[in-house]
């Protein structure tokens, strides 16, 4: 049930692609709650509905049926501009591919969302620098992505995702392009952000080792939740 303590509350999410007679059902009645400072893994094989569910949670798509509330606000019936505003204000995204601007420094990449939010140059630069310090890159502010390791680029992307103080951080295969050592470091960083800053995370992953480091694992199969259980603390 949706409560004031719920960051995410989805009920009966159904998503159908295609036209009548040629339909693909990606989600079949998914229910999901995520609570403050929780780290939830969404797992499942290819085609299980993970990416579709993440798109809806990230306000990048709408369900065909069902309802979705984030931070207590029902966003199901919002138009594109309204969804964009919710997305920019309440959700931070971390992707497998990093999606950094290659000609911009780490500092410039991190401050970019604050430019769109209308923040002043001095304030946004100071905040970006603090976040890069928080993710262990205070010494790399002026470095461009081509001079950073994969793990460092993902840390820049995480700092960028946090700069607008989102209610929810969505991470799509965040360790997928990293070696095992850097993958461990990114998950350790997520844990520290959860513990020290109260960050709420939903991580889409096919990696059982990543899922095992979360608080809960939600497994999808053929668009349905087939498992939702707490994980023993790592």
pLDDT digits (tens, 9 = 90+) for 53-71: 999 999 999 999 999 999 9
19 band by pLDDT with thresholds 50, 70 and 90: confident
Predicted local distance difference test score (pLDDT) of residue 42: 98
Report yes or no on 153 lying in a domain: no
131 or 119: which carries more pLDDT confidence? 131
Q: Is residue 124 part of a domain?
A: no
pLDDT reported for residue 234:
63
What's the confidence (pLDDT) of residue 5? 84
CB atoms within 10 A of CB 161: 22
String of b and e for 114-125 (b: at least 16 CB within 10 Å)? beeeebeeeebb
Q: Which residues contact 17 (CB under 8 A, 6 or more apart)?
A: 23, 24, 26
Tell which residue, 219, 154, 165, has the closest CA to residue 188.
Answer: 154
Q: Report the length, in residues, of the chain.
A: 234
Tell whether 148 is covered by a domain: no
CATH number at residue 79: 3.40.50.300
Confidence of residue 1 (pLDDT cuts 50, 70, 90): very low
Domain around 171: 8-96+166-230
Give the count of beta carbons closer than 10 Å to the beta carbon of residue 215: 19
Expressed in angstroms, the distance from the first to the final Cα of the chain is 28
The total domain count for the chain is 1
Is residue 141 situated within a structural domain? no
What is the average per-residue pLDDT within 114-120?
84
Is residue 151 domain-resident?
no
pLDDT per residue as tens digits for the range 150-194: 999 999 999 999 999 999 999 999 999 999 999 999 999 999 999
* 59 located within any domain: yes
In a domain, 132, yes or no: no
- Residue 115's pLDDT band, with cuts at 50, 70 and 90, is confident
Q: pLDDT per residue over 67-79, tens digit each? A: 999 999 999 989 9
- Nearest alpha carbon to residue 10 among 60, 76, 64: 76
Mean pLDDT, residues 211-228 = 96
Instruction: Classify residue 36: in a domain, yes or no.
Output: yes
């Amino acid at each position: 049930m949706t409560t004031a303590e719920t960051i995410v509350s989805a009920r009966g999410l159904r998503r159908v692609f295609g036209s009548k007679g040629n339909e693909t059902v990606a989600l079949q009645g998914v229910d999901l709650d995520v609570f403050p400072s929780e780290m939830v893994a969404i797992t499942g094989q290819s085609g299980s509905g993970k990416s579709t569910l993440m798109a809806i949670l990230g306000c990048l798509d709408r369900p065909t049926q069902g309802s979705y509330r984030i931070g207590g606000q029902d966003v199901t019936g919002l138009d594109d501009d309204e969804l964009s505003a919710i997305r920019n204000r309440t959700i931070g995204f971390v992707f497998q591919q990093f999606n950094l601007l290659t000609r911009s420094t780490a500092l410039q990449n991190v401050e970019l969302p604050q430019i769109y939010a209308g923040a002043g140059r001095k304030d946004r630069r100071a905040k970006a620098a603090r976040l890069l310090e928080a993710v262990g890159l205070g010494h790399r502010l002026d470095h461009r992505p081509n001079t950073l390791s994969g793990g460092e680029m993902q840390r820049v992307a995480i700092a960028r995702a946090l700069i607008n103080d989102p209610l929810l951080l969505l991470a799509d295969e965040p360790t997928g392009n990293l070696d095992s050592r850097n993958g461990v470091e990114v998950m350790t960083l997520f844990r520290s952000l959860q513990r020290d800053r109260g960050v709420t995370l939903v991580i889409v992953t096919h990696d059982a080792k990543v899922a095992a480091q979360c608080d809960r694992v939600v497994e999808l199969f053929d668009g349905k939740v087939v498992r939702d259980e707490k994980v023993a603390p790592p």
